Structure 1
């Protein structure tokens, strides 16, 4: 009888699984599109690369406050819609501001452009995305309940997210090539993406309820004091945060957009690479089986090791599409565990909090990790801006100097390798908690 109940507890209906992934697909599309922001600013708006990188990094200063506030807010929310579910409405704000970001008028002064981009970028990531990401962990726990079910949702759902986002990642470079450096072309293109993806992003809120919420009287009210205690005593939160931030930093550099435009000579070919990422889906299919033998952080380390090989291949690939596909696929594997295994790892952290006589605080810890990830993404934008400027890159030139070409190659290869090594070090530092969790089971 108990076995049958357990089987029912970890069962995930396909319809519910599909509905759950709609908002991540929508937000993932934003992440893909934002990857073109630096190129849009330098090549379409005529802004210096170093200035763009500095603006995006400066925006991340707000995330420290907003992330922790969002975690506290959601941990203390209790409405008839649930604890985290109401905050799904933030996806509308994300898309409105994303459209406005890419609708920046060319005629504005550099100062006006800088202020506008700073405000829109801050609203997207420091406010609306912060609320969505902070709500993710408490929502999935209250929507699915069982740890095995959550692992299935994270792994199998990741396949659906990849397929959904692939539509954007494949089509967007083609549309960018058509839009060229036309501001009106970018504005119209963004409207075509923003409206349907915003509507898709709302589906989860309407179809997935928080029907497995713990009893209200069993949940401790989270105070600022308890938040500070967790951030001080639970060092593993920061290890997870740094490990997750490294792929975000590489994504924030968005070196692929420059690589395919300058080194390959055709940004439209980036779509061909994106189509091949379908092969990565087979890796995600084995995640649930691997989770029975390895911890979530061990999978993070495995992904980083594979990523190192992929990025090294990128350096020697040049414009060889076969090598670029292989490098892209191997490098892409490095980001999978940190994207889709974060919820199971967060459960480990919550249990560790309880062992320290602290509240579980899933949302607060998720917010802390998101904060570190956003800093990583901002650093990525800053790094590519500074390094491209130092290498004499000029978006208005038809042919870039050799120094800029070499720098773009390094940004697409050996510089990401450094951050893959940092991920491996975080995995090693997480081992004591993995041993504790294994012993507890």
Structure 2
């Protein structure tokens, strides 16, 4: 007969069911995002719309997308149902997949203006509304289904590994499927096929990920009975709560810098291999070395448990910085390029793995310090920061290429363009990695939370 776990045992135990549900949600969202990323190609090569017009539609959509993060966070913080705070938003996944199908079902009989309006509406419903609600709520879902720090780290590590592997497989298979289905009807059937997988995964996630109740959280000492200020907060209150949370302010600032660096080296990659090294095919070969880091994922939770999430993140920043600095000097030597790129790949490993855990600890700090439980808005803030950083990095890259006199119409680029591309792809990320190594240690939120919890328990006794 299976032993019935006590509440304390259940709270500390790693739940494979929760982890699978959480990973499925993240994985299928990645599946949808990859498909939706082809909307420009679908619009120009299947619907025969102007590249400029569809580009303008998507540009306006991204502005709207950033704003909705904060609205979604406030909505989640005000939600209280018998299913919990974040779990109801898992069901938004069904609406998300309906909107994905709608994007790729643009009526052919519409005029070009009508098609652009259809794509604008469905794309914004998909990304700015439904995907934002899912993205902001998933961190709150993790926090309320997995209350143990160590169990959350294991869940995040498992999710990151599975999603990374799935993304690589999808990135290989999807172009082949598109090549065979590049007609309006073909795109529609492709989207429906993906939606079936997505809806099944959404249902599994909803039934696997069950939140601890408010009473259970109180019994575990994670909530204080009758303290629920989060349902009454205005946006001004949210702003004050975040400003008073020094660790969240520091983390968001550092996260923004890290994401700016990521946007630059991701955007500059094609330029570096085609212009500086003169061989774009090297990019595919070098990208394969990322597979070599995957066997390390199972040991990451043990390392994090030993040295803590902050020190783990600092270590990966430093290793990555060394890799980027080395790659700036190796030229097109394939062996050295692969070795340096392998180490460069560690730059964001830490923040990608434990970023949500740090955000959750910042949520707890706000509650323990000020009695304010603002969960959704904290996840929304990191989501907004990411989107803003990606937009700003694109603008910065365009500006830097411009002042370096890069001209895509020319077969040979000036030395200034080569230097600038190397700066964006290697030097800036290396400098950011070193900067993060020294500054990230200021986020002592885990230690501070332990002191606050100890003081709270002493008061109750």
Aligned with residue 227 of structure 1, among 221, 234, 238? 238
Q: Does 2:213 correspond to 1:213? A: yes
Q: Which residue of 2 aligns with 1:278?
A: 291
Q: Structure 1 stretch 420-429 or stretch 195-204: which is displaced more?
A: 195-204
Q: Which residue of 2 aligns with 1:409?
A: 422
Q: Which structure 1 residue ranges, 5 or more long, are not aligned?
A: 105-110
Q: Contact 1:261–1:267 at 8 Å: present in 2 too? A: yes
Q: Describe the SS at the equivalent of 2:360.
A: helix
Matched residues in 1 for 2:155 and 2:79: separation? 24
Q: Structure 1 stretch 302-311 or stretch 194-203: which is displaced more?
A: 194-203
Spell out, residue by residue over 1:106-144, the C-alpha distance to the aligned partner (whole angstroms, 9 max, x if none): xxxxx9999999878766654333212220222112223
Structure 1-normalised TM-score? 0.76
Q: Which residue of 2 aligns with 1:23?
A: 25
Q: Which residue of 2 aligns with 1:252?
A: 263
Q: Does 2:178 correspond to 1:165? A: no
Aligned with residue 88 of structure 1, among 87, 90, 93? 90
After the TM superposition, which residues 144-183 of structure 1 pair with which residues of structure 2 at under 5 Å, given as runs? 144-171=146-173
Matched residues in 1 for 2:73 and 2:232: separation? 10
Q: Which residue of 1 aligns with 2:250?
A: 239
Q: Which residue of 2 aligns with 1:11?
A: 13
Change (3 A) 1:435 1:78: closer
Matched residues in 1 for 2:381 and 2:301: separation? 26
* Number of corresponding residues: 430
Deviation at 1:226, TM superposition (A): 3.5
Matched residues in 2 for 1:369 and 1:241: separation? 7
Q: Which residue of 2 aligns with 1:108?
A: none
Q: Contact 2:87–2:206 at 8 Å: present in 1 too? A: no
Q: Which residue of 2 aligns with 1:72?
A: 74
Deviation at 1:210, TM superposition (A): 2.2
Q: Which residue of 2 aligns with 1:325?
A: 338
Spell out, residue by residue over 1:290-315, the C-alpha distance to the aligned partner (whole angstroms, 9 max, x if none): 33333322322222111211222332
Deviation at 1:332, TM superposition (A): 2.3
Deviation at 1:413, TM superposition (A): 0.8
Q: Which residue of 2 aligns with 1:424?
A: 437
Q: Contact 1:21–1:160 at 8 Å: present in 2 too? A: yes
Q: Which structure 2 residue ranges, 5 or more long, are not aligned?
A: 107-112, 218-224, 455-461
Structure 2-normalised TM-score? 0.74
Q: Which residue of 1 aligns with 2:109?
A: none
Q: Which has the higher contact order (CA 8 A, sep 6+)?
A: 1
Matched residues in 1 for 2:421 and 2:398: separation? 11
Matched residues in 1 for 2:115 and 2:276: separation? 29
Change (3 A) 1:227 1:28: same
Q: What is the root-mean-square deviation in Å for CA atoms of aligned residues?
A: 4.6
Q: Does 2:396 correspond to 1:383? A: yes
Q: Which residue of 2 aligns with 1:141?
A: 143
Which structure's CA Rg is the greater one? 2
Change (3 A) 1:383 1:302: same
Q: Which residue of 1 aligns with 2:458?
A: none
Q: Contact 2:87–2:210 at 8 Å: present in 1 too? A: yes
Q: Describe the SS at the equivalent of 1:130.
A: helix
Q: Contact 1:346–1:362 at 8 Å: present in 2 too? A: no
Change (3 A) 1:209 1:237: same
Q: Structure 1 stretch 90-99 or stretch 369-378: which is displaced more?
A: 90-99
Matched residues in 1 for 2:343 and 2:39: separation? 25
Change (3 A) 1:65 1:436: same
Matched residues in 2 for 1:382 and 1:117: separation? 24
Q: Which residue of 2 aligns with 1:374?
A: 387
Matched residues in 1 for 2:4 and 2:418: separation? 63
Q: Which residue of 1 aligns with 2:308?
A: 295
Change (3 A) 1:249 1:152: same
Deviation at 1:427, TM superposition (A): 0.7
Q: Which residue of 2 aligns with 1:107?
A: none
Q: Which residue of 2 aligns with 1:436?
A: 448
Matched residues in 2 for 1:412 and 1:35: separation? 23
